[in-house]
Amino acid sequence: MDSWNSSIHFCQWIGVTCGRKHPRVTKLKLRILKLSGSLSPYIGNLSFLRELDLVGNSFYNQIPQEIGGLRRLEALHLANNSISGEIPSNLSACSKLTLVDIRGNQLIGEIPASLGLLSNLKVLGFVQNSLRGSIPPLLGNLSSLEELRNVISGIVPVALFNLSNIRAFDIGTNKIQGEFPECISNFSSNLRGLNMGGNNILGKIPDEIGNLISLEVLDVGHNQLLGPIPFDIGRLWKLNIFYASSNFLFGTIPHSIGNLTELTKLIFDINNIQGNIPSNLGLSSLSIVLSLSSNSLTGELPVEVEKLKNLGLLDVSHSRLSGLLPNNLGSCVNLVELYLEGNLFEGPIPPSLSSLRGLGAVDVSNNNLSGGIVEFLVRFGALKYLNLSFNNFEGVIPSEGVFKNTSAIFVEGNNKLCGGILELHLSRCNSKTSSKASVKLKIAIIVVILGVILVFACLLILWFRKKKEEKPKTTCAEHSLLQLSSQSILRATNGFCMENLVGSGSFGSVYKEILEESGVVIAVKVLNLLNHRASKSFFTKCEALKNIRHRNLVKVLTAISGVDYQGNDFKALVYEFMENGSLEDWLHPYVSMNESEMTRNLNSFQRVNMAIDVAHALQYLHHHCETSIIHCDLKPSNILLDGEMVGHIGDFGLAKILSADRLNYSSNQSSSLGLRGTIGYAPPEYGMGSELSTKGDVYSYGILFLEMFTGKRFKEGLSLHKHVKAALPNRVIEIIDPILLQESVGGGKIIDITLNENRLGNDRHLQ
């Protein structure tokens, strides 16, 4: 605050804004400046003040009564200080107030009923204080109120449900009692966040809740609710998060839940829900948590679980589920935690679960599972908790991987298991068991040898065929989906005319092509062979892409290598067409006269999902390929977006394959010379000759992540890394992309509804 001195005019002080016509203070914004002390009563002399923002400082003592004299005041931000005392009742005299945010202080007393006279009020927040009493019924007159976040007790006044413009209603983690109000339907259809969790609310969830069709977050967990889950819940088609845990709900899960195609979290644990798990509960949108544990569910786990490809946590423990574990559970390739304990499952662990390489926790204890311990669990590097206890497993326990960590593995209650590390205190395996294992090993060796011979024979046949064929053919794909030639590509792109050009680079140009027979839209990258690095890039991409398959990598349909109609060398790669272009087009759009900039904006959810998509692809390239692949050129222009805005990593022209001696690909065939990657995204160490590693991709991912959420790019000497570091920890809000800030300020999106997740912080489903 060095600028606050008499040598310069007060209108030029930091945080002070004056009116244009007269030198009178209209805004005082001193957010997060480590200020302390009492709020001066002289603040009441700023009669032209419209906004007072002191958020995130250390002010203490009471709110001065003189603030009530600021008749022009529109916004009062005092959150996250140490202010004590009661809320001044004369705040109602500030008739122009639209926002009162005094969360996170030490206020006591009751909420003044006179605040109900502030007819222009839109946002009212009191949480994380020590207020007592109930919400005054007079607040029901605030017809303009859009957000209400309070700490109260007692019964919610019926008048409060007449707030026709409310968009966020948060009264979670309080001492509210009484029945769940049926008049909830009086709320505006614009309501997007409803948090009534962590109270003592009785009764049933009313059917009328289905009228809140814009609801995105619903938390009624940790109450004393009875009765079934309403069928009309299925009308909330925008619902993203649904908590109803720790109640006394009964009945079956309604099939209408299958209509909630935007759902990412569904938590119904610790209730008394009966019946089967509906088959249509396999929502592909469920990407975070599906928890139905501690209920009375029966029947089998539906085969539709294969649709949960994006799910991170599945918990159906402590119910009465039975039958075999479905083989297609292995389709849930993004699972990190799997809890099936305390049921009646039987049979072996399906071999398809070998595809769940990202599992970190697995609990199948207290079931009737049988068979041997599957060997693929040894190869799960992320697995830190494995509970197989109290089943009917038999045979030899491995001694590698997770099985050599006694704090991570639990196998008690399986009387037919033997071997393992000494700390498990299991019996030695007898010779019969050992001989069986030896026979299995011999069979496995024979199968591997036969497989190698077969592969070698196939490669030899393909080599002879290649010598005989004259027309262009694929060089990358193991199973070509398309049979194309340079002539067919020339026709489909209308002679590579500019109208079909969608992009170009140093290695070649990309054209949009529509196949005549099928109407399929593809992207064709024709290499510029005048650039000697382009040919090497072609073989690098083929080598990198021929054995990899992942939903977040751009799919290569085929490749062409031969001569064109003029007798010149011709090389091209055929990709799946990404209709939404690249991430760079969205982060830094070029707005033409006929295109609105709003059409190219990314919201926060889309950016987070794209960051997750890229992370999944990198994890696959680094850890789940037969040989690790370093991309070397991760940047927004190489992140392509399909029709559903799913991110795909493309352009492997600079890729580096580790352990190259294991492939028919020499390390001296590098696809580029000198620095690999793009300046600003490549690690500085690369410029000093450091060896390539997967850590370089991680560095590039960090820069990409910063660019996604700041909207800034590396140019004109700007170091994005240093730019962000300089803003930490107190000026983060200044570097966030303004488009994201607009979402929470009048943009209609609620991106900061935390729903008191601190209350659930110890819940393993949210960790």
* CATH number for 519: 3.30.200.20
Q: Report helix, strand or coil for 576.
A: strand
Domain's final residue, options 443, 468, 493: 468
Which two structure tokens, joined as six digits, stand for 571?
């090389």
> In this structure, what is the dihedral angle of CA atoms 577, 583, 586, 590, given to the nearest 10 degrees?
-80
Tell me, yes or no, whether 348 lies in a domain: no
Domain's final residue, options 468, 490, 518: 468
> Is the same domain home to 544 and 623?
no
Which two structure tokens, joined as six digits, stand for 10?
């007060």
> Is the same domain home to 598 and 716?
yes
Tell me, yes or no, whether 134 lies in a domain: no
> In this structure, what is the dihedral angle of CA atoms 578, 584, 589, 595, given to the nearest 10 degrees?
0
Catalytic residue chosen out of the listed positions 170, 315, 633, 651: 633
The candidate with the shortest Cα–Cα distance to 633, out of 584, 597, 666, is: 584
pLDDT of residue 710: 87
The candidate with the shortest Cα–Cα distance to 350, out of 333, 371, 367, is: 371
Nearest 5°: CA angle at 461, between 458 and 463?
A: 110
> Is the same domain home to 511 and 531?
yes
The candidate with the shortest Cα–Cα distance to 46, out of 7, 94, 82, is: 94
Which two structure tokens, joined as six digits, stand for 379?
């190869």
User: How many Cβ atoms are within 10 Å of 333's Cβ, its own excluded?
Assistant: 18
User: How many Cβ atoms are within 10 Å of 757's Cβ, its own excluded?
Assistant: 13
> Is the same domain home to 484 and 502?
yes
Verify whether residue 613 is a known catalytic residue: no
Tell me, yes or no, whether 319 lies in a domain: no
> Is the same domain home to 460 and 514?
no
Query: CA separation (Å) from 97 to 46, 50, 71, 681?
Result: 15, 9, 9, 46
What is the count of structural domains for the chain? 3
Domain's final residue, options 577, 597, 617: 577
pLDDT of residue 766: 32
- Give the side-chain half-sphere CA count within 13 A for 727: 13
Decide: 703 and 724 in contact? Cβ < 8 Å.
no
pLDDT of residue 758: 34
Between CA 500 and CA 489 the distance in angstroms is: 12
> Is the same domain home to 686 and 586?
yes
| Residue 709, domain extent | 582-736
Q: What is the largest CA-CA distance in the chain?
A: 97
Name residue, tokens 């693929």. Answer: 376
Tell me, yes or no, whether 267 lies in a domain: no
Between CA 83 and CA 105 the distance in angstroms is: 5
Between CA 436 and CA 395 the distance in angstroms is: 10
> Is the same domain home to 701 and 591?
yes
Task: Classify residue 329 by burial, with Cβ atoms within 10 Å: 0-12, 13-18, 19+.
Answer: buried
> Is the same domain home to 572 and 628?
no
Decide: 255 and 232 in contact? Cβ < 8 Å.
no
Residue 333, amino acid: V
Tell me, yes or no, whether 542 lies in a domain: yes
Tell me, yes or no, whether 524 lies in a domain: yes
Decide: 663 and 604 in contact? Cβ < 8 Å.
no
Which two structure tokens, joined as six digits, stand for 287?
């990407």
Phi, psi of 291 (to 5 degrees): -125, 115
Decide: 60 and 83 in contact? Cβ < 8 Å.
yes
Name residue, tokens 């601190």. Answer: 758
pLDDT of residue 486: 60
Q: List, in order, residues 6 or more apart from 416 with CB less than 8 Å away.
A: 392, 393, 394, 395
- Can you list the pairs that 541-547 forms with residues at least 24 positions away whose Cβ atoms lie under 8 Å? 541/476, 541/573, 541/652, 541/653, 541/655, 542/475, 542/476, 543/657, 543/663, 543/665, 544/629, 544/652, 544/655, 544/657, 545/476, 545/652, 546/476, 546/477, 546/478, 547/478, 547/625, 547/626
Cα dihedral 35, 37, 38, 43 sign: negative
Q: Report helix, strand or coil for 432.
A: helix
Phi, psi of 157 (to 5 degrees): -60, 140
- String of DSSP letters for 30-51: -TTS--EEEPPGGGGG-TT--E
The candidate with the shortest Cα–Cα distance to 221, out of 170, 186, 173, is: 173
Give the rounded distance of the alpha carbon of 577 from its chain centre.
Answer: 24
Query: CA separation (Å) from 696 to 170, 284, 526, 654?
Result: 44, 33, 28, 13
Neighbouring-strand partners of residue 139: none
> Is the same domain home to 643 and 675?
yes
> Is the same domain home to 502 and 630?
no
pLDDT of residue 472: 43
Q: Report helix, strand or coil for 251.
A: strand
What stretches in the chain show pLDDT beneath 70?
Answer: 144, 146-152, 431-442, 466-497, 506, 517, 529-547, 564-567, 590-599, 653-655, 657-676, 714-718, 743-767
- Can you list the pairs that 742-746 forms with residues at least 24 positions away whose Cβ atoms lie under 8 Å? 743/603, 743/604
Name residue, tokens 């969830």. Answer: 205
Tell me, yes or no, whether 504 lies in a domain: yes
Give the rounded distance of the alpha carbon of 186 from its chain centre.
Answer: 33
Q: Burial letters for 607-618: b for 16+ Cβ neighbours within 10 Å, e otherwise?
A: bebbbbbbebbb
Tell me, yes or no, whether 763 lies in a domain: no
pLDDT of residue 603: 87
User: In this structure, what CATH number is given to the domain that contains residue 640?
Assistant: 1.10.510.10
> Is the same domain home to 461 and 496?
no
> Is the same domain home to 564 and 597?
no
